[in-house]
Amino acid sequence: MQKILLAYDGGEPAKRALDMTIELATKTGAHVGVISVVPVHPGRAPIDPWDDRTVHAEELIEARKLLREAGIEADLIEPGGDPAKVIERIAEERGYDTIVIGSRGLGSVARVLQGSVSEHVAANAHATVIVAR
């Protein structure tokens, strides 16, 4: 484990993923990147009004602060697009060998209606994926 990409959105599942990332990076000395994807939905307003770049920038700043408190410096990444696909693409393009992501614990109906980012990443990424529950 040399490079860990933490998918972070500030929610409780993401905070569990952050804690796991701190533990792994501390033990392995891995480089850490934190990604917060601004969702862009084709056919609708380009960016959801309740989920804009300001929100994601604040989430990244929060993650950086928590990582620094643990003695870890991290790269911050704030792209736009489909969250699952962008996480997978960034991990591959930048050589992350591990992705740590939280699971929102959606029920089966909600997963069908909303989709599960963690499920998609776990099934499609070319890196090892750790889902924090």
* Crossing angle for the helix pair 117-124 and 83-93, to the nearest 10 degrees: 40
Sole residue written with tokens 């408190």: 69
Sole residue written with tokens 């099934």: 123
Euclidean distance between CA atoms 112 and 91, whole angstroms: 25
What is the pTM (predicted TM-score) of this model? 0.87
> According to the model, what pLDDT value does residue 45 have?
58
Report, as ranges of residue numbers, the positions in the chain whose pLDDT lies below 50. Answer: 49, 106-114
Cα dihedral 132→112→39→85 (10° resolution): 70
Euclidean distance between CA atoms 81 and 117, whole angstroms: 12
- Asked if residue 132 lies in contact with residue 20, where contact means CB atoms within 8 angstroms, the answer is yes
> According to the model, what pLDDT value does residue 114 have?
41
- Phi, psi angles (nearest 5°) of residue 110: -65, -40
Euclidean distance between CA atoms 14 and 132, whole angstroms: 8
> According to the model, what pLDDT value does residue 56 have?
86
> According to the model, what pLDDT value does residue 30 have?
98
For the chain, domains (ranges, CATH) are: 3-132 (3.40.50.620)
